[in-house]
Amino acid sequence: MKQIPAMESAPKLSLDAFMQVVQNTPLVSIDLLIYNEANEILMGWRKNQPARDCWFVPGGRIHKDETIPDAFTRITHGETGMQCNIANAVFHGVYEHHYPGDNFAGQPGFGTHYIVLAFEIKLSHTDFPLPKEQHVQYCWMPIPELLESTTVHRNVKNYFNGWETF
């Protein structure tokens, strides 16, 4: 199979243009279900909208003209600090996340809609640097605790309770 070279950098949209995209179209993203050896999930306390002030799994949106494997590598590195190839992950499923009235800019009048590709990653070590751009702190959470928690976002719970949105 021919390898497509990674993009140097995606062209940046202006803030106004990106707000129009968020207001009028779904975004496509990747979420990372990262398991440690104890079968716990890596969770981060979100500091940005949408889903601010909740436990959430690492993830990010796919950029225009970016392949899914390249986006996976970029998002994994940007969200966890580790290098991971999509070939080392297991596809978990496609989900929809709706954030009515909640968007990255905190602007009233519109929410955010994501189509999410969820991937599982199983780790044998957990000593990687965790960036603080999206999450202020991290923890490893057992799935039963995650499902019972009132501070874990419902969209994360849906990855583990068998509920898909289509």
Spell out the CATH class of 27-160.
alpha beta
- Each residue of 45-98: pLDDT tens digit? 999 889 899 999 999 999 999 999 999 999 999 998 888 999 999 999 999 999
- Each residue of 118-130: pLDDT tens digit? 999 998 877 777 8
Element (H, E) at 23: helix 15-24
Measure the CA–CA gap between 78 and 82, rounded to whole angstroms.
8
Enumerate the domain spans of the chain. Answer: 27-160
- Each residue of 133-156: pLDDT tens digit? 778 899 999 999 999 999 999 999
Its pTM stands at: 0.87
Measure the CA–CA gap between 116 and 3, rounded to whole angstroms.
24
Q: b/e map of 19-57 (b: 16 or more CB within 10 Å)? A: beebeeeebbbbbbbbbeeeebbbbbbbeeebbeebbbb
